[in-house]
Structure formats: structure tokens, C-alpha cells
Amino acid sequence: MSVRPAWEVRESGGATRWFEFQLTFVDGARVDALAVVGGGCVCVEEVRAQPALSLDDLAELADWIEEAVEQACGAGPGPDGCGTQRRRARPAWPQGAEGRRLVAQEYRAAQREGADPVLAVMGATGRSRRTSLRLIGQARDAGLLPPRRARR
């Protein structure tokens, strides 16, 4: 992972800054992004990924970029146009054992109603499909859900 300032434009007491982001994964996947920071917000201008990202992964990437910009600039909008106004698009979700217990409850309730349990967990947590599957796996590992497949 690398975050580099690309360029900056100063205007009437503030500034607009661009940052280049590059993520390289051990499996060879790569994501390059360009984000602009100004007026107290972060906007992703360009994303290139190999292999292509799903919409859920793109939303996850946007959250990661927002956090990386905060670390690079310091939290909160400043007179230099750097930083963000922090907002949570998803509900707060407890960590640890309590979070796993709630994931298991959502999963079982969706199964009883005949709905897709993964979509139910995604809706409850506000997380991507990949993250929701990981949370479900953690609930299985903790013994709160039955194994995915019956062993023979």
C-alpha cells in the first residue's frame, strides 16, 4: 500500500489536493486510484483495478481511501482543504463475541424467513459481501452457526 500526494492547487485561503493510491496484494491483484480532497470532502476521481472490482469492493475501497487521507492529512477539514468530515454510512456494529452473536442471529432469522442469509447480514452490518462472509465464518468458527458442509 502506498499513498502519495500528487499535486495541490491553492485558492482563496484554501487548497485542493490530489492523492495517488496504490494497493498491491500478494496474489498479484492491484488497485490504483486518484482521489481529490477539498472543501472538507474526499472524492475518488479514478480507479483502475486488475482484476476488476465489484461494487461492494469499490465501496470498501472508498472507505479505505477516506481513512488513508485522514491519516495523511489529519482528521477534520482544515483551512488547507485537507481532511474530511467523518460520516458513517453504515450502522455501528459491535466487535468480538457480541458482533459474532448478532451475525448468527441475523443469519438464522433470514433462514427462517426463507431469505438469503448473506444479504441479511450485509444489510444488518452495512458491510460488503466479502466482509459479511468473513463475519459469518467467524460466527461458524465460534460455534454459533453449524458447519457450512456436513462432513462425510
* Residue 148 neighbours by CB under 8 Å, 6+ apart: 140
Cell numbers found for residue 66: 477516506
Give the model confidence (pLDDT) of 76-125 as tens digits. 444 444 554 444 455 677 888 888 999 999 999 999 999 899 988 988 88
List the alpha helices (DSSP H) in 13-95: 55-73
Query: Omega before 5 cis (within 30°)?
Result: no
Q: At 29, is the secondary structure helix, strand, or coil?
A: coil
Amino acid at 143: G
Domain coordinates of the chain in residue numbers?
2-73, 96-141
Mean pLDDT over the full length of the chain? 80
Rounded Cα gap, residues 81 and 9, in angstroms: 10
Phi then psi dihedrals of residue 133, to 5 deg: -65, -40
Taking each helix axis from N to C end, the angle separating 55-73 and 129-141, rounded to the nearest 10 degrees, works out to 90
Measured in whole angstroms, the distance separating CA 110 from the mean position of its chain's CA atoms is 24
Give the model confidence (pLDDT) of 46-62 as tens digits. 889 888 888 778 777 87
Rounded Cα gap, residues 129 and 127, in angstroms: 7
Full-model pTM: 0.46
Question: Number of C-alpha atoms within 13 angstroms, CB side, residue 5?
Answer: 12
The bridge status of strand 2-11 relative to strand 41-50 is unpaired
